[in-house]
Amino acid sequence: MSKPVVLITGASSGIGEATARHLAQQGSLDLVLVARNQQKLDQLAQELSSEHAVDVVVHPFDLTQVDAISECLQVALQHFGRLDVVLHVAGAADFKAALDFTPQEVEREFQLNTLSGIRLSQVAAQQMLQQGGGKIIIVASMSGKLPTPQSSVYAASKSAMMTYAAVLGMELEDSGVQVTVVNPGPVKTAFFDHSPAMQTYIQNVERFALEAHQVAKLLAELVWQTKKLPYEVNLPFAMRLAYLGHRMCPRLARWLTLRFANFK
């Protein structure tokens, strides 16, 4: 890739914003930044383009409008003529008892965390196939692998996203379009600002929590990596081990989760 065109969703905050900064500091590229908050996107675009060798376009967009997602691709094509990497980072959660979710809340969380990623991957992959290659990097969550009480809808939406991406990656094997899923454990971002239950959770797990820049560094490495991408990255190491235990001894892992890892 000479000067890659990278589209980042969720670029107005947390992991997406940190990744945009990381990438801009590291090299020459064109960025398309997507999120709803135009003011934050404009500020970030202004900062990155004035300080680094990047051209930045912003696209304020609500990703729950799944049917209109090809707009994001069109913005990249209109401004830069191609799309090399999609970093699909946007997402949100609500932590509460499974029986308390309304159908509308379930639908909205799946639209954002699953359906938007499926649709964006489809339109991006079609474009990348025409171009001869590209990368689709999806941020899901360790929640989708290690579900815990109060995270039913979020965990299910991320689990569905990672399963879809795994199959898409297999279907596109050797096509030049690579698909990878990054599953972070808890990360200290504004993600938890939405409700008191979520703030309590991040306080409970603060000692294990990652910083946004740690995940951003990994995502940026995947963007620049020339050798084949792994199909999945799980972090931090302790959660990789926990996941291994969960696969090997599911009943014991469930018992341990309910007694010792029930932090929400």
C-alpha span between 94 and 137 (Å, rounded): 23
Q: Does residue 189 belong to the site contacting ligand NAP (CB under 6 A)?
A: yes
| Interface stretch with ligand NAP, choices 6-14, 145-153, 226-234, 247-255 (CB under 6 A) | 6-14
- Measured distance between the N- and C-terminal CA atoms of the chain, rounded to whole angstroms: 43
Residue indicated by tokens 């799946």: 110
Q: Which one of residues 75, 184, 198, 216 is an interface residue with ligand NAP (CB under 6 A)? A: 184
User: How many other β-carbons are positioned within 10 Å of the β-carbon of residue 79?
Assistant: 14
Task: State the Cα torsion 55-57-63-68 to the nearest 10°.
Answer: -120
Q: Does residue 191 belong to the site contacting ligand NAP (CB under 6 A)?
A: yes
Over the Cα atoms of the chain, what is R_g?
A: 18
Would you call 154 a catalytic residue per the annotation?
A: yes
Q: Which one of residues 64, 114, 127, 257 is an interface residue with ligand NAP (CB under 6 A)? A: 64
| Interface stretch with ligand NAP, choices 44-52, 120-128, 189-197, 238-246 (CB under 6 A) | 189-197
Q: Which one of residues 10, 134, 147, 169 is an interface residue with ligand NAP (CB under 6 A)? A: 10
Q: Does residue 14 belong to the site contacting ligand NAP (CB under 6 A)?
A: yes
Contacts of 175 (CB under 8 A, 6+ apart): 129, 133
Cβ 131 to ligand NAP, closest distance in Å?
Answer: 25
Task: State the Cα torsion 90-110-233-74 to the nearest 10°.
Answer: -50
Residues 205-264 that bind ligand NAP (CB under 6 A): none
Q: Which one of residues 62, 166, 213, 264 is an interface residue with ligand NAP (CB under 6 A)? A: 62
Q: Does residue 164 belong to the site contacting ligand NAP (CB under 6 A)?
A: no
The b-or-e profile of 116-145 (16+ CB within 10 A means b, else e) is: bbbbbbbbbbebbeeeeebbbbbbbbbbbb
| Interface stretch with ligand NAP, choices 57-65, 124-132, 145-153, 223-231 (CB under 6 A) | 57-65
C-alpha span between 208 and 192 (Å, rounded): 15
Phi, psi (deg, nearest 5) at residue 216? -60, -40
Residues 99-138 that bind ligand NAP (CB under 6 A): 112
Q: Which one of residues 5, 20, 72, 89 is an interface residue with ligand NAP (CB under 6 A)? A: 89
Q: Does residue 187 belong to the site contacting ligand NAP (CB under 6 A)?
A: yes
Active site residues: 154
Interface positions with ligand NAP (CB under 6 A): 10-16, 35-37, 62-64, 89-92, 112, 139, 141, 184, 186-187, 189-191
